[in-house]
Amino acid sequence: MKCPADPVSLLRCNQILDVAEHLIATQGIVSFKFSQIAHDVGCSTGTLYKHFKGKEDILVCLFMRHATSNHLSLCVQQHPELTEQHKVLLPILFTFETIKRSPIFFTLRSVSVNHMVWPLASDEKVTRFKRRINAFWRWLHHHLTQAVVKQELVATPLQVKELTQGIVFYLTGVLTQFESQLIDDEFLSAQQHTCYRHLAKLMSQYAWQQAVTIEVFESLQALTQQYFIGNQAIAMNCSACNALEAKCD
C-alpha cells in the first residue's frame, strides 16, 4: 500500500488520519471502525482502502505522526548550545511532553509496537514504521557515542550500547506504570520527581563529566514545552512523513 505522493491523495490521507485520531480519542482504539471514518470524512470505504490496508495501517501512521524522533533534529538546530548529554536526554523529555499534549500517543505507542499488530500493516508502512522506531534508538546511541568522543562521557562501546538500552527500558517502564493509572499511590511518588530520580540513578552508573541534575532536567523540560508551542504540528501530516522518509533513503 503506497503512501500518497500527489496533492489530492496527500489531502485525503491527512483527512482520514485526522478523523481516525479523533475517533480513537473519543471512542477508544478498539471501537473505531473504517465505516465511521468514511462517514466522517465523507468518502466511501473503497476510498479508504485505496490508501490504508486496514486498521493496522492507520495505527502505524498515527504513531509516526506523533513520533518523538520527528522533532529532535529541528530542536537541536534551534538550540546549538545543547551538549551531547542534553541531546541524549531530549528524547525522554520529548516523549513525556508528547504524551501530555496528545492523549492517544501512549495508546498508539503501546499498541502499534505490538508484534501482533504492526506486521499486519502494508509493506511500505511497516518499512517506515521500523525506520522511525529505530531512529529513536539510533539517536540515543549516536549522541552517547559523540559524548565519548567529546569527553563528556567515559565509556566503552559495550557501555554505550547498554546505556542506550537502559534509557529505552527506563522510558518504557516509567510510561507503562504511570500512564496505566492502575498503581496505588502508596507505591508511586510525584511523577516528575520520580522520573528524574530514576533517570539520574541510571545515568550516574556511568562516568559522565557532569551529573544529570534536577536543574538540567527541568531546563530541558522547559525547552521542550517551548518548542512544542510553535512546532508540535510540524510533522503531523503525510508530506512531513514523506520528507522524513526521504532523509532515511
How far is 141 from 135, CA to CA, in rounded Å?
10
Specify the CATH number for 7-61; select among 3.30.230.10, 3.30.2290.10, 3.30.565.10, 1.10.10.60: 1.10.10.60
127 burial via Cβ count (<10 Å: 0-12, 13-18, 19+): middle
Tens-place pLDDT, residues 152-186: 999 999 999 999 999 999 999 999 998 888 999 99
Q: How much is the pTM?
A: 0.92
215 burial via Cβ count (<10 Å: 0-12, 13-18, 19+): exposed
Domain borders along the chain are 7-61, 68-248
DSSP track, 62-93: HHHHH-GGGTHHHHHHH-TT--HHHHHHHHHH
Tens-place pLDDT, residues 71-123: 999 999 999 999 999 999 999 999 999 998 887 888 888 899 999 999 999 99
Please give the backbone phi and psi of residue 207, each rounded to the nearest 5 degrees, phi first.
Answer: -85, 75
Cα–Cα distance list, 63 to 68, 72, 151 (Å): 10, 16, 35
- Which residues are registered as beta bridge partners of 207? 154
CA angle 207, 83, 109 (to 5 degrees): 90
